[in-house]
Chains A and B, each alone.
Chain A
Amino acid sequence: AQKVTQAQTEISVVEKEDVTLDCVYETRDTTYYLFWYKQPPSGELVFLIRRNSFDEQNEISGRYSWNFQKSTSSFNFTITASQVVDSAVYFCALSGVTFGNEKLTFGTGTRLTIIP
């Protein structure tokens, strides 16, 4: 069975600070996908990134960066120089690769509040 743990329920930081959201996963699959989603106050979930398990290169997109470490089963998300618009609930998720194993397993989310 797959499991995603986001231990941080809520985080508050002052604007311009860096913040890291933790994600730890469990799976018996040797290959899998990891995802991050953002849910702003409007409610719609916005896809941020997909990472394949065989690619452990860290990724950077503007102020966002993702640190995938297979050895510790973690896929952490860092926002650099946070802004008020980053305030949202962030979900980490995991899915299998094989046919019939496409469902995403989501963590419980981390509510991030950026204080102006």
Chain B
Amino acid sequence: SQTIHQWPATLVQPVGSPLSLECTVEGTSNPNLYWYRQAAGRGLQLLFYSVGIGQISSEVPQNLSASRPQDRQFILSSKKLLLSDSGFYLCACQKLGLAGSRELFFGEGSRLTVL
């Protein structure tokens, strides 16, 4: 079964600084990959998803960008962080199977605080 690794687990960044969150997947190939953000005490907001290398779909206009340089690597970036970028970022992997599997498997999350 697949394993999703995210890092860093926690980071505190000043407003205006750049950001790079990395997600790597083990144990599967050609997965769909997702970035979600969860504000404190809130639900999950889908930020980006990718069905393959270099293919990124953005769900909401924002200060963030995503890239997928390799099949099992998904990166979330920002050139200049805003206070509103604070939150808990979750990477998820989806392997579409003949049995109809659609479930997402999540990484441990990265908690970002922008000061």
A interface list, Cβ under 8 A from B:
33, 35, 42-47, 50, 52, 91, 95, 97, 102-104, 106-109
Known: A45-B90, A91-B43, A102-B32. A50 touches B101 (CB 8 A): yes
Q: A43-B88, A43-B111, A44-B108 are in contact. Are A50 and B46 (CB under 8 A)?
A: no
Q: Are A50 and B103 in contact (CB-based, < 8 A)?
A: yes
- List residues of chain A with CB within 8 A of the CB of B90: 43-45
Measured between beta carbons, the chain B residues less than 8 angstroms from A106 are: 43-44
User: A102-B96, A103-B46 are contacts. A44–B103 as well, Cβ < 8 Å?
Assistant: no
A35 to B105 Cα, complex, angstroms: 12
Q: Name the A residues within 8 Å of B94 (CB-CB).
A: 102
Q: Is the CB of B42 within 8 A of A103?
A: no
B77-115 interface (Cβ within 8 A of A)? 88, 90, 92, 94, 96, 100-109, 111
Given the complex of chains A and B, what is the CA–CA distance between A114 and B75 in angstroms? 37
Q: CA A42 – CA B88 in complex, angstroms?
A: 11
Minimum CB–CB distance from A64 to chain B (whole Å) comes to 16
Q: Verify A52–B100 contact, CB threshold 8 A.
A: yes
18 interchain pairs (CB within 8 A)?
A: A33-B102, A33-B103, A35-B102, A43-B111, A44-B106, A44-B107, A44-B109, A45-B90, A45-B92, A45-B104, A45-B106, A47-B105, A50-B102, A91-B43, A106-B43, A106-B44, A108-B42, A108-B43
Q: B44-73 vs A: 1/0 string, CB under 8 Å?
A: 101001000000000000000000000000
Which residues of the other chain, A, contact B44 by a CB distance below 8 angstroms?
Answer: 91, 106, 109
Counting chain B CB atoms within 10 Å of each CB, which of A45, A50, A95 scores highest? A45
**Distance in Å from the Cβ of A16 to the closest Cβ of chain B?**
27
Question: In the complex, are the beta carbons of A103 and B103 less than 8 A apart?
Answer: no
How far, in whole Å, are A44 and B23 apart by their CA atoms in the complex? 14
Docked complex Cα distance between A52 and B107 (Å): 25
Specify which chain A residues have a CB less than 8 angstroms from the CB of B34 in the assembled complex. Answer: 103
Min CB–CB distance B91 → chain A (angstroms) = 11
How far, in Å, is A104 (CB) from chain B's closest CB?
Answer: 6
Instruction: Across the interface, name the chain A residue whose C-beta is closest to B94.
Output: A102
